[in-house]
């Protein structure tokens, strides 16, 4: 009876070790996922900012073309200067 109990205890201990190792592996995986998620969020934020800046420049370029089509040289000059400042 004692051997059977001892053998069961050893079996349980080994099972617990496997569970602990599995939990450690899962924690490591979760840590990597969180790290990658933060990187993706930073990249997404950067792309969003770049996209907004590009859209602003495109809007200015459109307004410059429109001002030139209307022969509005003052507006053309002002918008062109604004665009130059944004590009610098």
Of 88 and 81, the structure prediction assigns the larger pLDDT to 81
Global pTM?
0.64
Residues of the domain holding 34: 2-87
pLDDT category, 68, cuts 50, 70, 90?
A: very high
pLDDT for 18 equals 96
pLDDT for 88 equals 87
pLDDT > 90? residue 4: no
CB 57 within 8 A of CB 83: yes
pLDDT > 80? residue 1: no
- CB neighbourhood size of 9 (10 A): 10
How far, in whole angstroms, is CA 21 from its chain's centroid? Answer: 30
List, in order, residues 6 or more apart from 68 with CB less than 8 Å away: 76
- d(C-alpha 49, C-alpha 65), whole Å: 25
Number of domains in the chain: 1
């Amino acid at each position: 009876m004692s051997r059977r109990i001892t053998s069961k205890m050893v079996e349980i201990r080994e099972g617990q070790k496997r569970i602990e190792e599995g939990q450690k592996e899962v924690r490591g995986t979760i840590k990597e996922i969180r790290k990658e998620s933060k990187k993706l969020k930073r990249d997404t934020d950067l792309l969003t900012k770049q996209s907004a800046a590009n859209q602003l420049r495109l809007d200015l370029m459109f307004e410059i073309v429109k001002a030139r089509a209307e022969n509005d040289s003052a507006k053309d000059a002002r918008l062109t200067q604004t665009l130059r400042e944004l590009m610098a």
